[in-house]
Structure 1
Amino acid sequence: MKPELKRAYNSGKLILFAGAGLSRNLGLPEWHELIAHLAKELGYDPQIFNSYGNHLSLAEYYKQVKGSLGPLRSWMDREWHRPDIDVRSSEIHTLITQGDFSRIYTTNYDRWLEVAHDAHNVPYSKVANAADLVSLTEEKRHIIKLHGDFDDDTSIVLDESSYFERLYFDSPLDIKLTHDVMGNSVLFIGYSISDFNIRLLFYRLTKMWGRTGLATARPKSYLFTNRNNPVAQEVLGQWGIEMIVSEEDDPRKALKDFLTELIDR
C-alpha cells in the first residue's frame, strides 16, 4: 500500500471514483451485450451492427431511429437491476460502504452503490443533477452520478450527443467535481485506463494547476488495476495519476484485497 495513499485515506482526503468494473463484479451486462440488444431492436445482425461504430455512435443512431433513448433506458434498467442480484453478497460493495469516503463519484448508471449503502444502513445523498446539489450537507456521504442515473432519463450520458456535451465540463456537477478534486486525492477503481472522460479531466486539471504556479502542491491521484501497462503508466503519470498494479490475476479478488488493506486502520 502506498504510504501517501494511506495517509490521504486516513485524513479523510481521498475521493473514490468507481467505474464499470465495479458493476461487472455483480454480473451486470457488458457493452457488447448492450450493442447486441441495440442491433436486435433495429433489425441488424449484432456482429455487423457492431462494425458500424462505437457504442456512442450506435446509441446515437438508435436515438435518431426510435425518437428517444427511453425504451433502451427501460431495458437497461431492468437488465441492470435483475431481482436475482444480491448486492450484500458483493464484498467489494460492502467494503466501499464501510470505507471512510466523504465523496464517491461514479460514471455508472445503476443504483447498486446506493442499494449497498441502504443494505448496510450507511446514510448518503445522491447527486444526479443540479437540483440535487441544493440540499447537500456534509453530514452524509455524497454519491455523485456523473453520467446520470436511471431515475432521470434526461441525465443519462449514453449517446454521442450527450457524451460530447459532457466534454465541456461546465455543468454544475462538473464544477463540484473540479472543486472536490482540487483539494483531495482521487482513487479510481473499476476503470479502463482508456476512459477518455477521465483522461481529459485530469489533463485539464494539470493545466489548471500549472497556471497557478503551485503544481507541486497538487494532491496525487491513483488508479488501481491488475493489468500492467507501461504506456498508460507514463501518460497518466504526467497528469498526476499514479497506477497501482496488483499481482493478483483475478480482478475481483485483487480489488477486494486492495480495499481491505486500504480501509483497515
Structure 2
Amino acid sequence: MGESTVLSDIPELPDEIIQAGLNGELVLFVGAGISRLLELPSWNELAQMVLHSLQKKGWLNFSELEQLKHLDPKKQLSIARFITEEKKQDFDLTQYFKVKTESNSIYKLINEIGCTCVTTNYDECLIPKLDESKSDGAFSIKPKKVRRIFDKNEFFAKYLDEPGTVIHLHGAISSRESMVVTTKEYLKHYDCESVKHILRELFAKKTVLFIGYGLEETEILEHILRSGAATESTKVRQRFALQGYFRSHESLYKKLHQYYLESFGVHLIGFIRDNNDFAQQENIFKNWTPQIQIRKPSLASDINRINEVLGND
C-alpha cells in the first residue's frame, strides 16, 4: 500500500505491518493514550493528582500548588517525591493506577493480536495472548502466562523475538522500585546501556507500530536518531504511528506527516477524531486485529540472534 496523507475514520492497515506479523517482526509500542481510554491518568493528570494530595495533607499551600502547576510533569513529580521523602513518608504512585471502568475493549483487541509489546505505561493492562492455532493452524495450546519485563537489567533483545512478552520501559506497578518517575531517574535510565541496546535493536530490526503514544514526547524519538535508524531510506517502512486529528486539521496532519517521516522515519497513520475522539481507536482495532496474524520469528532469525550474542559473523 502506498503512502497516504488523507485522514479517515478507519485507516487502511499497512501491508508492512501485516507482513511483519507473519515474519515474527511486529512490535506494538503502547503509550498512555491507550490507558487513558480506561480512565487511567495521563502524565499531567498524575502529577496534578499527586500535588493535590500533598496540598490536602498540608505539605503544600495553595500558592505553592499554583506555582508548581506551571512546571512539566517530571519536575512536578520530582518535587513531590522530595517533599514526601522529607516527611519520611512512602511515595506510592500505584494507588493512582486502578482501572476505574470495565470497558477495556481496546485492550482486549490489542491483547488478541498477541505480539511483543513495549510500553512506557506503568499499568499492567497489556496481556498479549499468542494463540498458536491462529499462527500456524496445526495445533492449539493454552496461551502461556505473560512474560513481563520491567527491570532494565533484563532488557535483553531476545525478548523482542518472543510473542506474548511485555517490556515495561519505565517500570511497572507490580514492582514499585522499577518505576522511572523523576527527572534524575529518566536521565539515568536513558543513559543505561541495556536501555540503549534494546531500543537500538527494536528500531533497527523490528517493525514498530506506536499506538497511544504522543510523538511530541521526545525520549523515544531521540533514540531512533541515536540508533541510526532514521538515517535509513524512508522507503523502508518499519515505523508507524497511529495518531488522531480533527478533520479540520488535515492540513496540519499533512505537514506533521512529512516532518516525522523525514526526521525520524516514522509514518503517521491519521484517523478522524470528530465523532468518537480517541475512542475511535477501538473501532480501528476491531478492523485491524483480525487482519494481523502473529508467528514466531523464523529459525534463520533465531540463528542470527544467537550469532549476534556470541559475536560471530
- 2:186 is equivalent to residue 167 of structure 1: no
Tell me the TM-score normalised to structure 1 length: 0.80
Task: Report the Cα distance in structure 1 between the residues aligned to 2:48 and 2:152, rounded to whole angstroms.
Answer: 33
Report the secondary structure of 2:38's partner residue: coil
Contact 1:24/1:30 (<8 A) preserved: yes
Report the secondary structure of 1:203's partner residue: helix
The aligned counterpart of 2:286 is 260
Report the secondary structure of 1:12's partner residue: coil
**Which deviates more, 14-23 or 230-239?**
230-239
Task: Report the Cα distance in structure 1 between the residues aligned to 2:45 and 2:273, rounded to whole angstroms.
Answer: 27
Contact 2:208/2:240 (<8 A) preserved: yes
- 2:39 corresponds to which of 20, 27, 33: 27
Report the secondary structure of 2:208's partner residue: strand
Report the secondary structure of 1:109's partner residue: coil
Cα distance per residue 1:186-212 (max 9 Å; x no partner): 00000112011122122223x3564xx
Shift in alpha-carbon separation, 1:160–1:44, aligned structure 2, 3 A: farther
- 2:95 is equivalent to residue 109 of structure 1: no
- 2:206 is equivalent to residue 192 of structure 1: no
- 2:171 is equivalent to residue 148 of structure 1: yes
Report the alpha carbon displacement of residue 259 of structure 1 after superposing the two structures with TM: 1.9
Contact 1:126/1:145 (<8 A) preserved: yes
Shift in alpha-carbon separation, 1:208–1:121, aligned structure 2, 3 A: closer
Report the secondary structure of 2:121's partner residue: coil
Contact 1:222/1:241 (<8 A) preserved: yes
Number of residue pairs aligned between Structure 1 and Structure 2: 250
- 2:221 is equivalent to residue 204 of structure 1: no
Unaligned runs of 5+ in 1: none
Task: Report the Cα distance in structure 2 between the residues aligned to 1:181 and 1:55, rounded to whole angstroms.
Answer: 27
Contact 1:97/1:122 (<8 A) preserved: no
Contact 2:119/2:167 (<8 A) preserved: yes
Task: Report the Cα distance in structure 2 between the residues aligned to 1:44 and 1:28, rounded to whole angstroms.
Answer: 26
Contact 2:244/2:278 (<8 A) preserved: no
Report the alpha carbon displacement of residue 247 of structure 1 after superposing the two structures with TM: 2.3
Contact 2:78/2:183 (<8 A) preserved: yes
Report the alpha carbon displacement of residue 109 of structure 1 after superposing the two structures with TM: 0.7
The aligned counterpart of 1:81 is 98
Report the secondary structure of 1:71's partner residue: coil
Report the secondary structure of 2:257's partner residue: helix
Unaligned runs of 5+ in 2: 1-11, 130-141, 292-313
Task: Report the Cα distance in structure 2 between the residues aligned to 1:47 and 1:24, rounded to whole angstroms.
Answer: 25
The aligned counterpart of 1:63 is 81
Task: Report the Cα distance in structure 1 between the residues aligned to 2:210 and 2:89, rounded to whole angstroms.
Answer: 30
Task: Report the Cα distance in structure 1 between the residues aligned to 2:31 and 2:121, rounded to whole angstroms.
Answer: 6
Tell me the TM-score normalised to structure 2 length: 0.69
The aligned counterpart of 1:235 is 259
Task: Report the Cα distance in structure 2 between the residues aligned to 1:17 and 1:121, rounded to whole angstroms.
Answer: 21
- 2:69 is equivalent to residue 50 of structure 1: yes
Higher relative contact order (CA 8 A, sep 6+): 2
Cα distance per residue 1:205-252 (max 9 Å; x no partner): 3x3564xxx657855210001125344322210211000001243244
Task: Report the Cα distance in structure 2 between the residues aligned to 1:219 and 1:70, rounded to whole angstroms.
Answer: 49
- 1:92 corresponds to which of 86, 95, 106: 106
Q: Over alpha carbons, which structure has the higher Rg?
A: 2
- Share of identical aligned residues, percent? 19
Task: Report the Cα distance in structure 2 between the residues aligned to 1:152 and 1:100, rounded to whole angstroms.
Answer: 23
- 2:194 is equivalent to residue 176 of structure 1: no
Task: Report the Cα distance in structure 2 between the residues aligned to 1:161 and 1:122, rounded to whole angstroms.
Answer: 36
Report the alpha carbon displacement of residue 55 of structure 1 after superposing the two structures with TM: 1.0
Contact 1:184/1:219 (<8 A) preserved: no
Report the alpha carbon displacement of residue 148 of structure 1 after superposing the two structures with TM: 1.0
Task: Report the Cα distance in structure 1 between the residues aligned to 2:89 and 2:143, rounded to whole angstroms.
Answer: 32
CA RMSD, Structure 1 to Structure 2 (Å)? 3.0
Task: Report the Cα distance in structure 1 between the residues aligned to 2:286 and 2:280, rounded to whole angstroms.
Answer: 10
- 2:145 is equivalent to residue 123 of structure 1: yes
Report the alpha carbon displacement of residue 131 of structure 1 after superposing the two structures with TM: 5.2
